[in-house]
Amino acid sequence: MIFQFLTMIMTANAQLEEGRQAKATAERNAFNVDTQRKMSQLEAKQRHNDRLELYRSNFSSNVAAFAATGRDVGDYANTTQSGSSVAAFLKRQREVATDDTSRSDMMGRAEALRYQAQAAAYRAQGRDSLVASRYRAFTSIASGLNDMSKTAASRGGF
C-alpha cells in the first residue's frame, strides 16, 4: 500500500515536471524566435538605409555625369518642376528608390509578423503542455487512489 502511494506521487510529480520542462523549452524557443525577429527588423532597416544611400550616391553621380556632358541639369534638387529629360530621369530614379524601400519595408514587416506568430505558437504550445501535464498528474493521483482503495477493500480496509 505504501509502495502504491509512493509510486502514485512519483508518477504525478514526474508528469508535472515534464510539463514544466516542456513549457520552459517552449519559452526558450520563443525567446530565440523573438531574437530572430529583432535581428530581422534591424536587417530590414539596414536594407532601407542602404538603398537610400545608394540612391543618394547615384543621384549625385548622375547629376555630375549630366553636367560633365554639358546637359542642362536645371534645378536638379527639384525634379518635379522641370520638364527636361534629365529631370524626368532623376524623377524616375527617385520613384524606383522609393518603390524599392517601400517593398523592402513591407517584406521586413511581414517577416517580423511571421516570427511573432511563431513565437506565440511556441508559447501556446508550452502552456498547453503544462496544462496537459497537470491533467495527467491529477488523473494519475485519482487512479492511484482508486487502486489503493480497491486494494484496501480486498484486504479488509486501510
Higher local confidence (pLDDT), 89 or 43: 43
Once rounded to an integer, what is the mean pLDDT over residues 109-134?
Answer: 97
What is residue 76's predicted lDDT score, i.e. its pLDDT? Answer: 57
Above 90 in pLDDT, residue 41? yes
User: What is the reported pLDDT for 158?
Assistant: 57
Alpha-helical runs (H) found in the chain: 2-68, 85-155
**Which residues, at least 6 apart from 7, have a Cβ–Cβ distance to it below 8 Å?**
144
| Mean pLDDT of the region 72-92 | 70
* Range with the largest mean pLDDT of 14-23, 65-74, 76-85: 14-23
Query: Of residues 81 and 13, which shows the higher confidence score?
Result: 13
- C-alpha distances out from residue 141 to 7, 22, 29, 97, Å: 10, 21, 31, 66
**3-state DSSP assignment of residue 73:** coil
Confidence of residue 87 (pLDDT cuts 50, 70, 90): confident
Instruction: Check pLDDT > 80 for residue 144.
Output: yes
